[in-house]
């Protein structure tokens, strides 16, 4: 049972990236998936969450209007489209599953999740 985040890289401010979160050993289609990020010296921050069906999505205030979460259950993959990137978006991004179908009010709390991907680094230059 594993999650694999990918798609990070170096991009200039204002640019875009699409992160992917692929599952192996289990099917993502039954579970809500969260994206988190952690910058050096900072706590892990909840970025976004998508319900198992994809019908419900949630975003942190710092990324609302710039990031879009989506999923393709046929490909067992969840995506995080990042547009209008800012230097303060620089962080290691992680995807996670907590074994729940939906994102609840505490979706941004890392304690809710028990399966984590290894992270992918996003660096935004000014």
Q: Which residue has the tokens 């319900």?
A: 51
Phi first, then psi: what are they for 13, rounded to 5°? -55, 135
DSSP characters over the chain: -EEEEE--EEEETT--EEEEEEEESS-GGGS-EEEEEE-TTS--EEEEEE-TTSS-EEE-TTTTTTEEEEEEGGGTEEEEEE-S--GGG-EEEEEEE-S-SS--TTTT-GGG--EEB--EEEEEE-
Instruction: List, for residues 67-97, the tens digit of each pLDDT value.
Output: 999 999 999 999 999 999 999 999 999 999 9
> What pLDDT score was predicted for residue 75?
94
> What pLDDT score was predicted for residue 105?
87
Q: Are the CB atoms for 1 and 98 separated by under 8 Å? A: no
Instruction: List, for residues 12-62, the tens digit of each pLDDT value.
Output: 999 999 999 999 888 999 999 999 999 999 999 999 999 999 999 999 999
Instruction: List, for residues 92-115, the tens digit of each pLDDT value.
Output: 999 999 989 999 889 999 999 999
């Amino acid at each position: 049972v594993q999650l694999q985040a990918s798609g990070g890289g170096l991009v200039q401010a204002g640019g875009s990236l699409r992160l992917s979160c692929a599952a192996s050993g289990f099917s993502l289609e039954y579970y809500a998936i969260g994206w988190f990020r952690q910058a050096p010296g900072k706590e892990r921050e909840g970025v976004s969450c998508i319900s198992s069906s994809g019908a419900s999505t949630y975003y942190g205030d710092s990324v609302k209007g710039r990031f879009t979460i989506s999923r393709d259950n046929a490909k067992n993959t969840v995506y995080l489209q990042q547009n209008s990137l800012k230097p303060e978006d620089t962080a290691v991004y992680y995807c996670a599953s907590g074994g729940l179908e939906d994102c609840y009010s505490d979706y941004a709390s890392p304690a809710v999740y028990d399966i984590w991907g290894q992270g992918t680094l996003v660096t935004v230059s000014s």
